[in-house]
Amino acid sequence: LLPPRMICTAWQQTRSVGGGLYNLGNTCFLNSVLQCLTYTPPLANYLLSRQHSQSCAEEGFCMMCTMEVHTEEVLSCSGSAIAPTAVVSELQRIGEQFQLGAQEDAHEFFGCAVDAMQRACLSRRSDRDTSSQSSTVIDQVFGGLLRSRVTCLSCKAVSDTYEAFVDIPLDIKAASSVTGALEDFVRPEHLDGENSYKCSKCEQLVSASKRLTIHQSSNVLTVCLKRFDPFSGRKIGKVVQYPEYLDLGAYTSQAPRGPLLYSLYAVLVHEGYSCQAGHYYCFVKASDGRWYKMNDDSV
């Protein structure tokens, strides 16, 4: 649907930082995610080109068309703010679990928003096969592939499975940095006892080693720090350090020929002591190269 050469990871035009977003009633989770998406250069370049809407035949709600209008409006109102009504009014079309006025999870909304954009890109396709899904602008911006390799410790047979991702959730209970959490993410896991592996070659339960690696890296890497404990409901409030530049090479299936370097451009923050309440805001790097704090209508 979109040739890879059309993805440009650098800003194609420099503008002043855009406007803020009014909070329409506990919509800080939505505002923060929208701002991060607006300042994602390859996505913004495509949205500002209006390529999708020029050929879109969707009669009802289309997330891509909505994001095109939203991005242009935000980046054109520097020094002021807009109400993200077009997105808020269609909240349940983006994710049916969201309730207007309720405090929601930003990471969950991010996943639903990306999925809604992917569905919009595929709306004209009758056969939504794997090749179509991996050639949309959304998959080319956010999509990557994880490899899970299980090695039988008896016969050394190897079994690989692959899973697509748009973000990588990182456990931070034992890590104090993003790089440390990534090291834990790819650290081999020993399978034995109740977790023994059924080897297809040995044809029995055996001890095995399982390792998860990034097999195909994404143009835009999104990591989510798992701050909310699903059992206690408590928030893990520890400080987690992250670099401005991240070399992903050490966490991939095969070592790249050179550095696989990523440059930080957005950080979404949850402020509060509980996963049930709090406030979201974000920091973004605009096309002028400067960092801005986006806190609802305040820039």
User: Is there a contact between 109 and 102 (Cβ–Cβ < 8 Å)?
Assistant: no
Handedness of CA 36, 39, 45, 51 (dihedral sign): positive
What's the rounded Cα separation, in Å, for the pair 142 and 43?
9
Tell me, yes or no, if 28 is annotated catalytic: yes
> Which positions ≥6 away from 128 have C-beta within 8 Å?
122
The span from the CA of 208 to the CA of 240, in Å, is: 32
Chain segment 182-217, per-residue pLDDT in tens: 999 999 999 999 889 999 898 889 999 999 999 999
- For the stretch 73-108, pLDDT in tens is 999 999 999 999 999 999 999 999 999 889 999 999
Of 166 and 3, more confident:
166
106-122 and 28-38 helices cross at what angle (nearest 10)? 50
Catalytic entry in 56, 77, 224, 279: 279
pTM: 0.91
Rounded to a whole number of angstroms, the CA Rg of the chain reads 21
d(CA 242, CA 26): 28
50 torsion bin: left (phi>0), alpha (psi -120 to 50), beta (else): left
CATH fit for domain 20-294, picks 3.90.550.10, 3.30.230.70, 3.90.70.10, 2.60.40.10:
3.90.70.10
Catalytic residue, candidates 28, 121, 152, 199: 28
pLDDT tens figures, 251-281: 999 888 889 999 999 999 999 877 778 999 9
